[in-house]
Chains A and B, each alone.
Chain A
Amino acid sequence: MNVALVIIAAVVLGSVALGIRAGRRVPMNLENWTVGGRRFGVIIMWLLMAGEIYTTFTFLGASGWAYTKGAPAFYIIIYGTLAYTLSFFILPAVWRAGKRHGLHTQPDFFIKRYGSRALGVLVALIGVLSIVPYLQLQLTGLGFIVEVASNRAVSSAAAIVIAFVLTCLFVFTSGIRGAAWVAVVKDILMIAAVAVVGIGVPVMCFGSVGNMFKTLMERMPGYLAFPGGTPNLGVTWVMSTCLLTGLGFYMWPHVFGSAFSARSAETIKRNAVIMPFYQIPILLVFFVGFTALLVAPGLKNGDTAFLALVQKTYPPWFMGFVGAAGALTAMVPASVLVLFASTLIAKNIYRTVFAPGAGEDRVIRLARIMVFVVMILALTSTFFFRKELVYLLIFGYDGVSQFFPGVVLGLFWRRATKQGVAAGLLTGVGVVVGLIVAGRDPFLGLNAGFVGLAANAAVTVLVSLSTKSASGGWE
């Protein structure tokens, strides 16, 4: 019997049961399904936000970046901190607007603020296009983690399909509440696993974390300052990328939408104060990546560094917990991504374009069915559109960041107009796609998304100033 596999299965099934239970005795209307009835307090918000933000990228990508690139990986702990700081100032206003106007999604916000349904459709389309590859990335990461952790007892494809069914089940039944409850288990397990491995591995291999760094600096001088082991990720790149991703962070439709789940604006502020502490586990993941570089150099794929090292140094039962934590780390963000993609499609695209008169009960029914459709879409695109997906994935962050001027100016500048925001959005997306396709990212040392965002902001302001604002019913 495979101990690791038993542990993974038990933990994952237990969490999913918890997620399904979470929606019992709550009528599943749009308000409850998408934003949890706007009732979440500080602790559950913290766990949910962390649940969404900490994806498989944290486990695999952060150690992989530390392993292959060195110092540029540090941008990962910086941008989150910038994002939480911004959220302190922006999200309370977003929440208030949500409460006042009964908003559920990011396009709802744009529609209400700018009085334009077409703008809502555009925002929803960009949102869904950015979500699908991100969702697919979670599924791929999950397959990989479970396959390695179970010592190949379960194939990656099988793990993905099982996880896909389970995730759809708790999203379908409980909506955002289901995600929040699974996130509780996931956050506890993941922090425990990262703490044990992040401190344990360098200590076992080098006696202490300090010694590990000392050895690394002796063997590879310059690796722990920008640009580290890369030719082009220098300090300008790090600065522009931190700004872009820091600004873009809460512009992800699912993260933005989750803000509506909070009980009050105060909850959101208090949440923002404690969020930066969540960056500390990422530091520990870096330790693993750096240790792996010293004790297991030459891995073909840096993203495998974390698991390779754990497998080498820990017993199989521990691997089971890491596997379970890894699986949930993919499933929680995936659940929220799929939930919001489905709501965007049902409420902001389908209803606006095809059935303007559709009632809320029809929208929620469609949204819940869409959960399965979006998941299947993400699954099949894994097999058929691999190359396009890579582009979409690069585009994801750069794309959603383009919502920033529309959101922030919409909240704090009365002159912002729908024409301005639409023109800015199209300009920003155009610049980003142009630069990525032309292979000019980074552009003059700057992140392409950042260049797009600057153009976007300028166009939004200029066009807004030359058009008449009409935001009836917003104030």
Chain B
Amino acid sequence: MKKGTKYALMLGAVPFLTLVLALPLVNRERPVILGLPFLLFWILGWVVLTPVFLYAAYRLEKKYNPPDEEDGP
């Protein structure tokens, strides 16, 4: 597997870990953060952070395996 793909996959795994696997650990209403019950705050936080991780994956992939002619721009 190419280096860029490996890094990208690791970053792409984050939402699956936080938004699926971690759910039993965060299934609670309190503490209330920014007015939101804890479970909803957790979910929303990781949803909003996902683009950050995906953007990092995008940059890394581009750096290590540059797109060929067909893929751009």
Residue pair B35, A224 in contact (C-beta under 8 Å): no
Min CB distance B16 to A, Å, is 6
Residue pair B51, A276 in contact (C-beta under 8 Å): yes
Q: What sequence of 0s and 1s flags, for each residue 3-46 of chain B, a beta carbon within 8 Å of any chain A beta carbon?
A: 00000110010011001110110011110101111011001101
Which residue, of B16, B27, B28, B40, has the highest number of chain A Cβ atoms within 10 A?
B40
Question: CA of A211 to CA of B23 in the docked complex: distance in angstroms?
Answer: 25
Instruction: Tell me whether A386 is interfacial, beta carbon within 8 Å.
Output: no
8 Å CB contacts to B: which residues of A387-427? none
8 Å CB contacts to A: which residues of B34-73? 34-37, 39-40, 43-44, 46-48, 50-51, 54-55, 57-58, 61, 67, 70-73
Question: CA of A272 to CA of B39 in the docked complex: distance in angstroms?
Answer: 25
Residue pair B15, A85 in contact (C-beta under 8 Å): yes
Q: What sequence of 0s and 1s flags, for each residue 77-92 of chain A, a beta carbon within 8 Å of any chain B beta carbon?
A: 1100110111011001
Question: CA of A369 to CA of B2 in the docked complex: distance in angstroms?
Answer: 47
A86 nearest CB neighbor, chain B only: B12
Min CB distance B20 to A, Å, is 5
Instruction: Tell me whether A2 is interfacial, beta carbon within 8 Å.
Output: no
A221 nearest CB neighbor, chain B only: B29
Residue pair B37, A96 in contact (C-beta under 8 Å): no
Q: How large is the interface on B (under 10, 10 to 19, 20 to 34, 35 or more residues)?
A: 35 or more
Question: CA of A293 to CA of B4 in the docked complex: distance in angstroms?
Answer: 48
Residue pair B47, A92 in contact (C-beta under 8 Å): no
Residue pair A74, B57 in contact (C-beta under 8 Å): no
Question: CA of A239 to CA of B26 in the docked complex: distance in angstroms?
Answer: 13
A74 nearest CB neighbor, chain B only: B43
B14 nearest CB neighbor, chain A only: A85
Question: CA of A438 to CA of B71 in the docked complex: distance in angstroms?
Answer: 47
8 Å CB contacts to B: which residues of A271-304? 272-277, 279-280, 283, 286
Instruction: Tell me whether A225 is interfacial, beta carbon within 8 Å.
Output: yes
B37 surroundings in chain A (CB, below 8 A): 213, 217, 224-225
Min CB distance A394 to B, Å, is 22
Residue pair A77, B27 in contact (C-beta under 8 Å): no
Residue pair A85, B12 in contact (C-beta under 8 Å): yes
Instruction: Tell me whether A152 is interfacial, beta carbon within 8 Å.
Output: no
Question: CA of A299 to CA of B70 in the docked complex: distance in angstroms?
Answer: 54
A269 nearest CB neighbor, chain B only: B58
Residue pair A88, B24 in contact (C-beta under 8 Å): no
Residue pair B23, A239 in contact (C-beta under 8 Å): yes
Of B19, B24, B54, B72, the residue contacting A264 (CB under 8 A) is B72
Residue pair A88, B20 in contact (C-beta under 8 Å): no
Residue pair B72, A222 in contact (C-beta under 8 Å): no
B72 surroundings in chain A (CB, below 8 A): 264, 266
Question: CA of A239 to CA of B25 in the docked complex: distance in angstroms?
Answer: 12
Of B34, B47, B67, the residue contacting A279 (CB under 8 A) is B47
Residue pair B36, A82 in contact (C-beta under 8 Å): no
Residue pair A88, B54 in contact (C-beta under 8 Å): yes
Instruction: Tell me whether A243 is interfacial, beta carbon within 8 Å.
Output: yes
A282 nearest CB neighbor, chain B only: B47
Residue pair A242, B57 in contact (C-beta under 8 Å): no
B44 surroundings in chain A (CB, below 8 A): 77, 283
Residue pair A84, B50 in contact (C-beta under 8 Å): yes
8 Å CB contacts to B: which residues of A228-287? 235, 238-239, 242-243, 264-266, 269-270, 272-277, 279-280, 283, 286
Residue pair B39, A88 in contact (C-beta under 8 Å): no
Min CB distance B72 to A, Å, is 6
Min CB distance A367 to B, Å, is 28
Of A78, A88, A226, A243, the residue contacting B12 (CB under 8 A) is A88
Question: CA of A235 to CA of B19 in the docked complex: distance in angstroms?
Answer: 12
Question: CA of A210 to CA of B32 in the docked complex: distance in angstroms?
Answer: 9
Residue pair B70, A99 in contact (C-beta under 8 Å): yes
8 Å CB contacts to B: which residues of A186-230? 208-211, 213-214, 217, 221-222, 224-226
Residue pair B50, A81 in contact (C-beta under 8 Å): yes
Residue pair B39, A225 in contact (C-beta under 8 Å): yes
A88 surroundings in chain B (CB, below 8 A): 8, 12, 54, 57-58
Residue pair A225, B15 in contact (C-beta under 8 Å): no
Question: CA of A275 to CA of B50 in the docked complex: distance in angstroms?
Answer: 9
Which residue, of A209, A225, A265, A275, has the highest number of chain B Cβ atoms within 10 A?
A225
A286 surroundings in chain B (CB, below 8 A): 40
Top-8 shortest CB links A-B: A210-B35, A265-B71, A224-B37, A273-B54, A276-B50, A78-B19, A81-B47, A224-B29
9 additional A-B residue pairs with CB within 8 Å, beyond A88-B58, A226-B23, A266-B71: A81-B19, A85-B15, A85-B16, A208-B35, A213-B35, A224-B40, A239-B24, A264-B71, A280-B47
Q: Which residues of B contact A (CB under 8 A)?
A: 8-9, 12, 15-16, 19-21, 23-24, 27-30, 32, 34-37, 39-40, 43-44, 46-48, 50-51, 54-55, 57-58, 61, 67, 70-73
Q: Which residues of A contact B (CB under 8 A)?
A: 71, 74, 77-78, 81-82, 84-86, 88-89, 92, 96, 99, 208-211, 213-214, 217, 221-222, 224-226, 235, 238-239, 242-243, 264-266, 269-270, 272-277, 279-280, 283, 286
